[in-house]
């Protein structure tokens, strides 16, 4: 945990914490701790109570808003260009234009998790561990980034995905919209949409793909194609009626409508594509995994109908995926679980493909385009391991598994 520590008196300290479960606006995300006086006696409770009372009184007056300029996407675009120019001026770098681009994203891969995973990888190989290298350690350059949301010091995956996929920082819980959009307020969507690198690549004539171990309509992948003020609107079954009446679309629907013909879509999230109470093809007896759509639409069937006459395939299990010859496939929709895919440690290796297997198929389909391709690959269950009662074991294994598909592209990227 990174703390900014300041001294209020010889005996009282305060620190702002970057680890809270329910983040307040970032300027107010502060915790207080009472220390000891220089002579060793405990500070009186009067000071602590007074301080807390003052803090609560200020909070009651209204939390300060983030700067108005941060609601404008051009603010972030201009800042990014200025930062890039400054970095390029530091040294002579390769300025050639890339044909293919693959973004590997480990959701939840902070420095402590990377360190633990690096050690685990080495120990799994029978070594002490600390001296081991992940694939990313072998790259010529490494950098750190600030991951705050415009309205939260501790960010979530939706606002951060909007930042690195669209180049614009956003409010927590929102996808593909600027900070002028307010979470869960449907009427703030229109006019505040921002476009992603996946859209830019498609418009440039490249093939595009999304591969994730979460739902394909989860926060990270959704920012590549959706414009939604609430990351939890997976299907219309999770949306409030007023949002539907106002005209907002659920994320699953946007996956197929916003950017037509995304060439590769693989991950979980089957149940959000089918009408409510439709039994799942793999778990027909588990009603919790039934379809969730209230509009009665079967988005998978609609995709298959739209793709008739094209070399397109829908698959929902490992054997169907690996039986395909990528040379004869131009588009693929793979939905391997009703919701998120299992932790790799718990994955059924007979029915669910690994991240590496999905990336291999995606690469072999996308690389046929002479104009190149863009592929977003997310190891999305790392963060979930942290959330699930601080289960570090699946988190570290998730990072180790992510480094395996990282090895593959090094053999074909020019």
Annotated active-site residue in 2, 16, 86, 157: 157
The annotation status of 220 as a binding-site residue, yes or no, is yes
What gap in Å lies between CA 284 and CA 160, rounded to an integer? 36
The annotation status of 383 as a binding-site residue, yes or no, is yes
**Helices within 189-315 (DSSP H only):** 197-203, 219-222, 241-246, 251-257, 299-306
User: Is 157 designated active site?
Assistant: yes
User: Going edge to edge, which strands form the sheet with 312-315?
Assistant: 101-106, 373-379, 207-215, 264-268, 331-335, 312-315
The annotation status of 378 as a binding-site residue, yes or no, is yes
The annotation status of 107 as a binding-site residue, yes or no, is yes
Distance of CA 188 to the CA centre of its chain: 22
Considering only CA atoms, which of 365, 342, 359, 364 is closest in space to residue 405? 359
Is 264 within 8 Å of 274 (Cβ atoms)? no
Considering only CA atoms, which of 329, 414, 325 is closest in space to residue 372? 414
What gap in Å lies between CA 394 and CA 212, rounded to an integer? 16
The annotation status of 53 as a binding-site residue, yes or no, is no
What gap in Å lies between CA 377 and CA 383, rounded to an integer? 15
**Alpha carbon distances (Å) from 298 to 235, 253, 263, 266, 302:** 11, 10, 19, 18, 6
Is 173 within 8 Å of 180 (Cβ atoms)? no
What gap in Å lies between CA 54 and CA 43, rounded to an integer? 17
What gap in Å lies between CA 272 and CA 232, rounded to an integer? 12
The annotation status of 238 as a binding-site residue, yes or no, is no
Question: Which positions are annotated as active-site residues?
Answer: 157
- Binding-site residue numbers for Mg(2+) are 107, 218, 220, 378
- Binding-site residue numbers are 107, 218, 220, 378, 383, 387
- Binding-site residue numbers for Zn(2+) are 107, 383, 387
């Amino acid at each position: 945990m990174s703390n900014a520590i300041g001294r209020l008196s010889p005996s009282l300290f305060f620190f702002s914490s970057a680890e809270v479960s329910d983040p307040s606006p970032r300027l107010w995300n502060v915790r207080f701790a009472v220390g000891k006086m220089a002579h060793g006696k405990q500070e009186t409770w009067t000071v602590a109570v007074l301080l807390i009372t003052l803090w609560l009184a200020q909070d009651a007056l209204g939390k300060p808003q983030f700067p108005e300029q941060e609601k404008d996407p051009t603010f972030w675009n201009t800042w990014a260009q200025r930062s890039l120019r400054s970095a390029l001026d530091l040294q002579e770098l390769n300025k050639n234009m890339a044909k293919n681009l693959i973004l590997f994203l480990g959701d939840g891969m902070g420095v402590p998790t990377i360190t633990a995973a690096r050690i685990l990888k080495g120990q799994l190989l029978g070594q002490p561990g600390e001296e081991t290298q992940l694939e990313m350690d072998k790259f010529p350059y490494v950098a750190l980034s600030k991951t705050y949301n415009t309205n939260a010091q501790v960010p979530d995956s939706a606002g951060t995905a909007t930042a690195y996929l669209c180049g614009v920082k956003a409010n927590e819980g929102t996808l593909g919209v600027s900070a002028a959009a307010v979470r869960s307020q449907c009427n703030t969507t229109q006019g505040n949409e921002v476009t992603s690198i996946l859209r830019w690549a498609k418009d440039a004539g490249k093939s595009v793909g999304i591969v994730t171990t979460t739902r394909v309509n989860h926060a990270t992948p959704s920012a590549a194609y959706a414009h939604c003020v609430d990351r939890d609107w997976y299907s219309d079954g999770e949306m409030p009626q007023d949002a539907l009446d106002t005209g907002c679309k659920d994320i699953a629907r946007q996956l197929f409508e916003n950017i037509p013909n995304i060439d590769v879509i693989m991950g979980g999230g089957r149940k959000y594509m089918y009408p409510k109470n439709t039994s799942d093809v793999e778990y027909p007896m588990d009603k919790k995994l039934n379809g969730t759509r209230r509009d009665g639409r079967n988005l998978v069937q609609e995709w298959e109908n739209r793709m008739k006459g094209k070399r397109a395939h829908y698959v929902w299990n490992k054997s169907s995926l690996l039986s395909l010859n990528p040379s004869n496939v131009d588009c693929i929709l793979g939905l391997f679980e009703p919701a998120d895919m299992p932790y790799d440690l718990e994955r059924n290796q007979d029915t669910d493909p690994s991240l590496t297997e999905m990336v291999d198929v995606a690469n072999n389909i996308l690389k046929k385009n002479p104009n190149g391709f863009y592929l977003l690959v997310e190891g999305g269950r790392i963060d979930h391991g942290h959330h699930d009662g601080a289960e570090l074991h699946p988190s570290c294994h998730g990072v180790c598994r992510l480094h395996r598909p990282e090895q593959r592209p090094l053999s074909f990227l020019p």
